[in-house]
Amino acid sequence: MKEVLKKNDERMQRRINHLIDEFKSIRAGRANAAVLDKVTVDYYGVPTPINQLSSISVPEARTLVIQPYDASSLRSIEKAIQMSDVGINPQNDGKVLRLIFPPLTEDKRKEIAKDIAHIAEDSKVQIRNVRRDTMEKLKAMKKSGELTEDDLKEGEKKVQKSTDNFIKEIDSITDKKKKEIMEI
């Protein structure tokens, strides 16, 4: 039973980590290199993440500077950013690309906050699905005689407690991200 409970917690923690990664890529009106994490560049026929082709720095709060290691890849990086859903047109000065993040409007902030709530709710559903799968495994173990009735009840309590903790963590992470988005 310990192995089943351990796997349950690991699966739930992976979901939390995924949520955190998703939130990092949401644009909050200030420069953040994580918005480029999902953007890949066709570099000699191989899709390559931008952070492997260049150094990315944040010289000012609303500016990202992308300096390619290979100057010939500058146009490819620019094109990849334009084709992505980053929503910012890079400025090319021949040596580096600059992404200037405009301040978010109130409507855009509210829209992003709604998106954050949807992503968080999806994460909670996935956490509950993990709980359901674990409960089914515990019941199957009881049926096959590996667990007693008391062990099953104890396991179910532990799974529910773990689920509640992970859902509280999702709420906490979500509230923090919403505050970040709504601040001017």
Contact 119, 23 (CB under 8 A): yes
Domain 2-24+105-182 has CATH 3.40.50.10360: no
**In the chain, where the domains are located:** 2-24+105-182, 33-100
- Protein fold of 33-100: Gyrase A; domain 2 (3.30.1360)
pLDDT in tens, the chain (184 residues): 889 999 999 999 999 999 998 888 776 667 778 888 888 898 888 898 988 889 989 888 888 899 999 888 889 889 888 888 777 888 998 889 998 888 878 888 888 899 999 999 999 999 999 999 999 999 999 999 998 999 999 999 999 999 999 999 999 999 999 988 887 6
Other Cβ atoms within 10 Å of 27 Cβ, number = 19
- As a whole number of angstroms, the distance between CA 4 and CA 133 comes to 10
pTM: 0.72
